[in-house]
Amino acid sequence: MPYLFTSESVSEGHPDKIADQISDALIDNFLAFDAQSKVACETLVTTGQVVLAGEVKSKAYLDVQEIAREVIRKIGYTKSEYMFEASSCGVLSAIHEQSSDINQGVDRTKKEDQGAGDQGMMFGYATNETEDYMPLALDIAHKLLIELASLRREGKKIEYLRPDAKSQVTLEYDDNNKPVRIDAIVVSTQHDDFDSESKMAKKIREDVINILIPRVKAKYKKYAHLFNDKIKYHVNPTGKFVIGGPHGDTGLTGRKIIVDTYGGKGAHGGGAFSGKDPSKVDRSAAYATRHIAKNLVAAGLCDEVLVQVSYAIGVAQPMGLYINTYGTAKVELTDGEIAKRVSQIFDMRPYFIEQRLKLRNPIYSETAAYGHMGRQPEVVEKTFTAPDGKTIKKKVELFTWEKLDYVRKIKQAFGIR
């Protein structure tokens, strides 16, 4: 029976995402100057205020206040009328040293015996319904806000946009679990004040439908037919949206974990990513399971797959590996048998995940908005400056967990041609 499925996204200017980006900028700076840093940092943002808290074990000394301000500046909070502005907001740091009790469960004499930084279960998911092996509703929701942010920075076709925004996409699927049309699109965007609220509502709706949507549609040639004339558009459905960002809502690190992953498809173990160094399996193992899932689908083993791994704190070997192909497997094996072979291909001990995916590099700022999954791997050069003026440049590989570098090994292990 046909059904509807919805996913949402939030922009880089959303309060929770500001918090995520600040936390991950701190991670990157600590790792840039000390690759063995252990960091768990949380950020709170509200009217005119940023609060940094967390635990750190590192040889690096950072100006955390200036790092936070630079993130806020880059996002676009640079005007006093936003009631949250990069140069004038207060930044309070309550970061302290990491607990030695936790650290002794992670560090080992032999690096390969490194224990998991916490207990828990992590999930990875992939589907072949998009080219980047992501759920389509979430993919479109992200693209809507990426294009909206581009329009805001261009400042030509839509001049009144402010940084805070949200999107939501509802798709209709057929009996074969294939998307057949977009049923509804919701876009809520912060904006400058207008003289007339009725003119404002009309203008924003027209610009979203006539400027934003065509730009997004152009990126979806495979699914251009889904953008139909019967889509229900809800543009700023509450009306006026001038007060936004941290002045409108308090933001916290780790509150957008479904936006960060698969938009409600598959499953989620509950652990956030941003603000955590890769010894925290909430982050590293979630990336590793996505890497497995994407390569399994790309190899043709199945059309859709969910991968779960679980850990005990301080223990290197995972508690178990679970795989669910939702009945789409192309091989004559049970999901349990598939999981057993997969565990022989991918070493899921924390140290080996870090090495395989090159996670002890400053690669996390780019993950903190528009999703950690489904992004394009690329090599970039990043520059970091310490409080003493020392500057270092690092070439790093972003989104390594999105690489299709295990397809051949999987095909060989499962006899796929």
Q: Which residues have CB under 8 Å from 81's CB, separation 6+? A: none
* Residue 219 covered by a domain: yes
* Residue 380 covered by a domain: yes
Structure tokens at 227: 């953008």
Question: What was the pLDDT predicted at 211?
Answer: 97
**Which is it for strands 179-191 and 161-173: parallel, antiparallel or unpaired?**
antiparallel
Among 410, 127, 153, smallest CA distance to 294 is for 127
Strand pairing partners for 108? none
Question: What was the pLDDT predicted at 337?
Answer: 98
Structure tokens at 213: 């949507």
* Residue 16 covered by a domain: no
Structure tokens at 371: 């999703």
* Residue 325 covered by a domain: yes
241 annotated among ligand-binding-site residues: yes
- C-alpha to C-alpha distance for 11 and 17, rounded to whole angstroms: 7
101 annotated among ligand-binding-site residues: no
Please count the other Cβ atoms lying within 10 Å of the Cβ belonging to residue 66: 12
Per the CB < 8 A criterion, the answer to whether 359 and 39 are in contact is: no
* Residue 308 covered by a domain: yes
Helix axes 350-357, 281-298, angle to 10 degrees: 60
366, 404: one domain: yes
* Residue 322 covered by a domain: yes
222 annotated among ligand-binding-site residues: no
332, 284: one domain: yes
227, 278: one domain: no
> How would you write 3-41 as a 3-class SS string?
EEEEEEEECCCCHHHHHHHHHHHHHHHHHHHCCCCEEEE
Which CATH number covers residue 310? 3.30.300.10
Q: Which residues have CB under 8 Å from 394's CB, separation 6+? A: 32, 361, 362, 381, 382, 384
User: DSSP code of 82?
Assistant: G
Per the CB < 8 A criterion, the answer to whether 2 and 173 are in contact is: yes
- C-alpha to C-alpha distance for 395 and 389, rounded to whole angstroms: 20
16 annotated among ligand-binding-site residues: yes
Question: What was the pLDDT predicted at 106?
Answer: 63
140, 239: one domain: yes
* Residue 328 covered by a domain: yes
Distances (CA, A) of 405 to 14, 62, 266, 306: 34, 36, 23, 19
Tell me which H or E stretch contains 294.
helix 281-298
188, 214: one domain: yes
185, 294: one domain: no
142, 222: one domain: yes
pTM score of the predicted model: 0.96
141, 124: one domain: no
Which of 193, 224, 243 is where one domain is finished? 243
320, 339: one domain: yes
Question: What was the pLDDT predicted at 23?
Answer: 98
144, 193: one domain: yes
User: Averaged in consecutive runs of 10 residues, what is the pLDDT profile of the chain (417 residues)?
Assistant: 96 98 98 96 98 96 96 97 97 86 58 82 97 96 97 96 98 94 98 93 97 92 88 95 97 98 97 96 97 98 98 93 97 98 97 97 98 98 94 97 98 95
* Residue 23 covered by a domain: no
The boundaries of the domain holding residue 387 are 120-128+274-414
267 annotated among ligand-binding-site residues: no
Q: Which residues have CB under 8 Å from 40's CB, separation 6+? A: 54, 55, 56, 98, 275, 276, 277, 280
189, 124: one domain: no
21 annotated among ligand-binding-site residues: no
239, 283: one domain: no
166 annotated among ligand-binding-site residues: yes
Question: What was the pLDDT predicted at 355?
Answer: 97
74 annotated among ligand-binding-site residues: no
255 annotated among ligand-binding-site residues: yes
42 annotated among ligand-binding-site residues: yes
55 annotated among ligand-binding-site residues: yes
256 annotated among ligand-binding-site residues: yes
Structure tokens at 168: 């939501």
- C-alpha to C-alpha distance for 159 and 157, rounded to whole angstroms: 6
Q: How many domains does the chain have?
A: 2
